Chains A and B, each alone.
Chain A
Amino acid sequence: MGASILIADDLSFMRMIQKEILTERGYTIAGEASDGLEAVEKYKALHPDLVLLDITMPNMNGLEAMRKIFAFDPRARVIMCSALGQQNLIVEAIKAGVKDFIVKPFKPERILSAIEKALRI
């Protein structure tokens, strides 16, 4: 009965991997979203303890979704997933209040450790 996590990534493959890693560790998957819009809607509806947001998504990218989520809930715990080389975007996200960022491809320990620390705060 672990914390509930919302996974947002446009690639079902990526969502699957994250789901695997998280459920193995005992976290509950609050839901999945495949674009920014859905991520925001599901955040508002499901109130997860934490959300994993991919930066590059169609319909609304991760940064936009992050802003909307923070506008809805200033205390939201958001971890940004990004590819190498998007550092300016990540810094933007950090300034807005993101708790951590993960660079893809990531090892399972990395994502678990980030989530664990983010949940502590």
Chain B
Amino acid sequence: MRKRYVSFALGEGRYCVPVEHVLQIMRLEGLIEIPKPPPFVLGVLNLRGDIIPVVSLRARLELPREKVTRAGPDPRKRRVVITRVNGKPYGLDVDEVREIVEIDDAAISTDSTTVLGGRADFLVGIARHEDGLYLVLDLPRVLGTARDLPIAGPPA
């Protein structure tokens, strides 16, 4: 089944998340610091009263700093992708938001343990696409909400 994903760049990699998870894309402005944050949480954004944690994907995926195509991505392209996972909003700090791609479920393979030097257990898998490889993020895992299992439907 083909699904649409929003893709974004992080260092050398192109990552993507399903379109239906994405609420909004915005520039990273107005970041508020929080006390003693986990290493991958940059802070929060106050969007119309909603407190949205902003996660540094680079830190979360433990991507090595040296592996960038050029030292430091263009700060003007940096964006926060506001996603909704399990009913709650979270922001992802990415280097650049790119295109929307259609990826076939069958094209996603799941046999790597590390990708681009970073952790692969935060990925659903790697998708083969005519434009190249897209790394499909497992958002509930990335955001640590994986333990909130989706409510099971009636048994088959």
Chain A positions within 8 Å of B, measured between CB atoms, are 67, 70-74, 96-97
CB <8 Å contact, A74 and B69 = no
Q: Is the CB of B72 closer than 8 A to any CB of chain A?
A: yes
Residues of A within 8 A of B68 (CB): 71
Residues of B within 8 A of A72 (CB): 71
Size of interface on B: residues with Cβ below 8 Å to A: 5
Residues of A within 8 A of B72 (CB): 74
- With A and B bound together, what is the CA distance between A69 and B40 in angstroms? 30
- With A and B bound together, what is the CA distance between A42 and B40 in angstroms? 38
CB <8 Å contact, B69 and A96 = yes
Chain B positions within 8 Å of A, measured between CB atoms, are 68-72
Residues of A within 8 A of B69 (CB): 67, 70-71, 96
Residues of B within 8 A of A67 (CB): 69-70
Q: Which A-B residue pairs are the 9 nearest by beta carbons?
A: A70-B70, A74-B71, A71-B71, A74-B70, A96-B69, A67-B69, A74-B72, A97-B70, A96-B70
Residues of A within 8 A of B71 (CB): 70-74
Residue in B closest to A96 when the chains form the complex, CB atoms: B69
Closest approach, in angstroms, between the C-beta of B141 and any C-beta of chain A? 29
Closest approach, in angstroms, between the C-beta of A46 and any C-beta of chain B? 19
Residues of B within 8 A of A96 (CB): 69-70
Interface centre among A67, A71, A73, A97 (most CB of B within 10 A): A71
Could you jot down 17 A-B contacts, CB within 8 Å? A67-B69, A67-B70, A70-B69, A70-B70, A70-B71, A71-B68, A71-B69, A71-B70, A71-B71, A72-B71, A73-B71, A74-B70, A74-B71, A74-B72, A96-B69, A96-B70, A97-B70
- With A and B bound together, what is the CA distance between A71 and B69 in angstroms? 7
Residues of B within 8 A of A71 (CB): 68-71
Residues of B within 8 A of A70 (CB): 69-71
- With A and B bound together, what is the CA distance between A70 and B69 in angstroms? 7
- With A and B bound together, what is the CA distance between A40 and B68 in angstroms? 17
Residue in B closest to A76 when the chains form the complex, CB atoms: B70
Residues of A within 8 A of B70 (CB): 67, 70-71, 74, 96-97
Closest approach, in angstroms, between the C-beta of A58 and any C-beta of chain B? 22
Residues of B within 8 A of A73 (CB): 71
Residue in B closest to A69 when the chains form the complex, CB atoms: B70
- With A and B bound together, what is the CA distance between A30 and B70 in angstroms? 23
- With A and B bound together, what is the CA distance between A2 and B145 in angstroms? 59
- With A and B bound together, what is the CA distance between A97 and B77 in angstroms? 13
- With A and B bound together, what is the CA distance between A74 and B69 in angstroms? 10
Given A70-B70, A70-B71, A71-B69, 5 additional A-B pairs, CB 8 A: A72-B71, A74-B70, A74-B72, A96-B69, A97-B70
